[in-house]
């Protein structure tokens, strides 16, 4: 959520034609890079493409629990973060990771292999609020299709 706030801050700066004097973009890209390098977990691909996630709990020092995958629609917020990192760095890997997170979070809003239903307020609110940064960035790149 902090990194998403940095992204929104940078959008506000851009809208006001103000410079990023505190290198918020560098902080955001740095954090996304950390997640992509140290916390990234590949999920089994589905019929529409690759999926990715982060550990449910993150422990420094490589504890075994770092391999327990988080699979829920909060990954759509992660897609927004990776999309901001793509926007501010230009590195294609961030948009690829964003697509993998978006695919996982929209296909399985509760857990891997769920019935893909939205029967709780929090999960529905997540899907209404998050994902717009990703979809905008993805569309701006001329991506052909996003089957989730």
Residue 21 covered by a domain:
yes
Residue 145 covered by a domain:
no
Residue 79 covered by a domain:
yes
Residue 100 covered by a domain:
yes
Enumerate residues 6+ apart whose C-beta is below 8 A from 83. 94, 95, 98, 133, 134, 136, 137, 138
In which band, very low, low, confident or very high, does the pLDDT at 148 lie, cut at 50, 70 and 90?
very low
Query: How many domains would you assign to the chain?
Result: 1
Q: What is the mean pLDDT of residues 117-142?
A: 71
pLDDT reading at 16 higher than 60: yes
Q: What's the pTM?
A: 0.81
Residue 147 covered by a domain:
no
Residues of the domain holding 85: 2-140
Residue 146 covered by a domain:
no
What confidence tens digit (pLDDT) does each residue in 96-109 have? 999 999 998 887 76
What confidence tens digit (pLDDT) does each residue in 40-76 have? 999 988 888 889 998 876 666 766 666 777 788 889 9
């Amino acid at each position: 959520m902090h990194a998403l706030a940095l992204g929104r801050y940078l959008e506000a700066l851009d809208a006001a034609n103000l410079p990023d004097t505190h290198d918020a973009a560098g902080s955001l890209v740095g954090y996304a890079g950390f997640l992509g390098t140290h916390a990234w977990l590949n999920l089994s691909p589905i019929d529409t493409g690759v999926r990715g996630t982060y550990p449910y709990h993150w422990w420094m020092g490589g504890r075994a629990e770092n391999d327990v995958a988080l699979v829920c629609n909060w990954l759509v917020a992660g897609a927004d973060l990776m999309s901001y990192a793509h926007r501010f760095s230009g590195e294609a890997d961030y948009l690829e990771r964003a697509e993998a997170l978006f695919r996982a979070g929209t296909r399985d809003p509760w857990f891997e292999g769920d019935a893909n239903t939205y029967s709780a307020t929090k999960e529905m609110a997540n899907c209404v609020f998050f994902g717009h940064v990703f979809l905008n960035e993805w569309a701006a790149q001329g991506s052909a299709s996003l089957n989730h």
